[in-house]
């Protein structure tokens, strides 16, 4: 009989939302404090997205006073536009080169670097240099480095008795040229993400694994390193894909989409059609496609990050 009482004691421990309840008295503050950011988000992100959707259904041209709705006309035109498919293909090829190479190399470098203690800082700084540097400026430098007549690469190849490759002027090579720069630019970023991932593999864990008989190099990779680093890798791949699809600076500085559209990528085409060709309606339709692609990658990234958080 006495036990009923003690049970009642415990059931009293009702959890209550302390901070939430305390916040309830501050509704006005909540509105006032969030208003500036909320209105700005509305004006600079949400409203423009809506406008883009609407404009993509019209034949609006920049500078014109009139417009009329043409339904999905821009989208059907887009599907038949060889230049659109070319741009999409180029973006895909560029991504297919840059992402695996920059992620793979970053993973290798991170694995080598994670066991270094004293020299790690120095390497980190150097590998990170391209990430922070202004890509526009460095693209100008790269235009000389990859130049087939005067660049150091050409000199090296000539001295080895090969025919020098003119990366940016040759339509077969130009996309690879940009991919080289893109890889160079993104590798350090991915490296840092991987190094953060490697910190989850503690010394204690490797030691415990050794006690369990996991001591050869390959076993360690298979049972310890890869399972722990795989979630990070997925996140890195997602982020790299987003970045690769956003490639613009190198195209605008170095090739202007040329030669003969060989390097015209999605974002550059959007920019050209919207602001140079003034075809706002068509450009908006392209933007919608772009938005959907980036949105998909973002969702993928968020899902991968959430999965990682469960570890």
Partner 1 sequence: MALRLLHHTRTAAVHAVLILGAGLMAYPFIWMWRASFQSAGEIFGAVANPPPIWDSIAENYGRALFETPLLRFMLNGLIMTGGILIAQVLTTVICAFALAKYDFRGRKILFALVLLSLAVPAQATALPIFIVLAKVGLLDTYLSMMVPYLTSGFAIFLFHQFIKSFPDEILLAARLDGMTEIEIVFRIVMPAMLPAIAAFAIFSITFHWNDLYWPMIAIRSADMAPPTLGLLFFRSQGGGGDSFGPLMACATLVTAPLILVSLVAQRKFVQGVTMTGVK
Partner 2 sequence: MHGHGIKITNARKQFGRAEILQRIDLDIQAGEFLTLLGPSGCGKSTLLRMIAGFDQLSSGSIQIGDREITRLPPKKRDVAMVFQSYALYPHMTVAKNIGMPLEMSRLSFRQRLPGSRLFSRQVREIHREIAQTVDKVAGQLDLKPLLDRKPAQLSGGQRQRVAVGRAIVRQPSVFLMDEPLSNLDAKLRIQLREEISDLHRRTGITFLYVTHDQTEAMAMSNRVAVMQSGRIVQCAKPQEIYNRPSELAVARFVGSVAINELPVTVASGDILLAQRSLKLRAAEAPNDACTLALRPESLEAVSHDEEADFTLPLLHVEFSGSEVTLRCDASALGTDRIRVQMRAERFERLRGEGAIEDQVALRILAQNALLFSRTGQLMPAQLATRGAGR
CA-closest candidate to residue 227, choices 308, 115, 106: 308
Q: Interaction with partner 1 in 47-86: which residues (CB under 8 A)?
A: 47-49, 51-52, 55, 62
Q: Note whether 7 binds partner 2 by CB under 8 A.
A: no
Side-chain-side CA neighbours of 192 within 13 Å: the count stands at 16
Q: Cβ closer to partner 2: 29 or 121?
A: 29
| Number of residues this chain uses to bind partner 2 (CB under 8 A) | 16
Q: Assign 69 to helix, strand or coil.
A: strand
Among 76, 136, 158, 200, binds partner 1 (CB under 8 A): 136
Cβ proximity of 60 and 281 under 8 Å? yes
Smallest distance, partner 1 to C-beta of residue 136, A: 4
Question: Position of tokens 């922070």?
Answer: 132
Stretch that binds partner 1, among 19-27, 75-83, 169-177, 223-231 (CB under 8 A): 19-27
Q: Which is nearer to partner 2, 2 or 134 (CB)?
A: 2
Instruction: Looking at residues 10 to 69 of the shown chain, list those that interact with partner 2 (rule: CB under 8 A).
Output: 11-17, 21-22, 25
284, 275 Cβ separation under 8 angstroms: no
Residue closer to partner 2, measured from CB, 12 or 309: 12
Cα gap 13→30, rounded to integer Å: 30
Dist CA 89 CA 95 (whole Å): 10
Is 303 a binder of partner 1 (CB under 8 A)? no
Contact between 134 and partner 1 per CB under 8 A: yes
Q: Which is nearest to 258 in space by CA: 192, 137, 177?
A: 177
- Least CB distance to partner 2 at residue 32 (A): 16
Q: Cβ(263)–Cβ(90) under 8 Å?
A: yes
Q: Nearer Cβ to partner 1, position 109 or 178?
A: 109
Applying CB under 8 A, the span of 9-17, 32-40, 56-64, 141-149 interacting with partner 2 comes to 9-17
Among partner 1, partner 2, none, the one that 271 touches (CB under a kind-dependent 5 to 8 A) is: partner 1
Q: Which ranges of the chain would DSSP assign to H, the alpha helix?
A: 2-11, 18-23, 27-41, 47-55, 73-80, 82-114, 120-132, 135-145, 152-159, 174-198, 203-211, 217-219, 226-245, 249-250, 266-271, 280-309
> Least distance to partner 2 from the beta carbon of 27, Å?
13
Give the interface with partner 2 as residue ranges (CB under 8 A). 1-2, 5-6, 8-9, 11-17, 21-22, 25
């Amino acid at each position: 009989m006495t036990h009923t009482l003690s049970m009642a004691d415990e059931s009293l421990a009702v959890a209550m939302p302390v901070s939430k309840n305390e916040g309830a008295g501050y509704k006005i503050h909540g509105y006032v404090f969030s208003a500036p950011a909320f209105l700005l988000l509305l004006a600079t992100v949400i409203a423009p997205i809506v406008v883009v959707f609407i404009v993509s259904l019209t034949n609006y041209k920049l500078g014109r006073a009139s417009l009329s709705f043409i339904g999905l006309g821009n989208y059907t035109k887009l599907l038949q536009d060889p230049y659109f498919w070319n741009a999409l293909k180029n973006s895909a090829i560029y991504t297919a080169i840059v992402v695996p190479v920059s992620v793979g190399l970053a993973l290798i470098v991170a694995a080598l670097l994670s066991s270094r203690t004293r020299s790690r800082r120095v390497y980190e700084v150097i590998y990170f240099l391209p990430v922070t540097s202004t890509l526009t400026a460095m693209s100008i430098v790269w235009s000389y480095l990859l130049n087939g007549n005067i660049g150091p690469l050409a000199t090296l190849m000539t001295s080895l008795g090969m025919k020098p490759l003119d990366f940016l002027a040759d339509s077969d090579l130009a996309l690879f040229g940009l991919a080289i720069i893109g890889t160079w630019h993104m590798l350090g970023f991915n490296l840092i993400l991987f190094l953060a991932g490697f910190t989850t593999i503690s010394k204690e864990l490797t030691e415990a694994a050794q006690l369990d008989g996991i001591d050869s190099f390959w076993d360690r990779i298979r049972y310890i390193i890869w399972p722990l680093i795989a979630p990070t890798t997925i996140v890195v791949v997602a982020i790299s894909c987003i970045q690769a699809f956003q490639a613009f600076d190198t195209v605008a500085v170095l090739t202007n989409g040329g030669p003969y559209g060989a390097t015209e990528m999605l974002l550059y085409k959007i920019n050209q059609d919207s602001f140079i060709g003034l075809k706002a309606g068509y450009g908006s339709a392209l933007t919608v496609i772009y938005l959907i692609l980036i949105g998909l990658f973002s969702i993928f990234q968020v899902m991968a990050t959430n999965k990682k958080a469960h570890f």
